[in-house]
Amino acid sequence: MHELHFRRAHSEDAARLQDIRRAAFAPVFASFRSILGDDLYELAQRRDDEAHEGLLTSLMAADSGWELYVAQSGDEVVGFVALRLAPETLVGEIGLNAVDPAQAGKGIGTAMYEFAAARLKQAGMKVATVGTGGDPSHAPARRAYRKAGFDIEIPSVWMYRKL
């Protein structure tokens, strides 16, 4: 693997970032369907999963309130991470992010989260936060966040009831 570097995302990156997002989140959405079952998934989750593409597109807008960075190895974009700075609270947030599953296990996620934490610190943030799922499909993300120093957790549980 070439040396990893980070830069702001450009509009020309959009198709590649959507490809990475689609590949990285396919197992997550499949996990949600498996956990919920087809009926509840269709009623409660499918629309959110389908809106994911638009979410990434919205993060690229200049007025989104987010900074979107790509992780690049040589000429290849291998991941992305969105950051939100809150100067009023000094809490920075890592938002939507993903690493190309074909590049998994190479330390890209850890490097990306370390870059994110450094960017937040450089911007004056005193705390960095990130949210992730507790289901099995999010285990790799949780490992990468922990490896990058996110070591304090408040568990959260989404519960469903079919009416």
Which tokens go with 70?
């790509």
4-147 has which CATH code? 3.40.630.30
Burial label, 27 (beta-carbon count in 10 A; 0-12, 13-18, 19+): middle
Record the pTM: 0.94
Q: Are 92 and 128 in contact (CB under 8 A)?
A: yes
| Distance between CA atoms of residues 6 and 69, nearest Å | 6
Tens-digit pLDDT profile for residues 142-162: 999 999 999 999 988 889 988
What is the tens place of the pLDDT at every residue in 95-110? 999 999 999 999 999 9
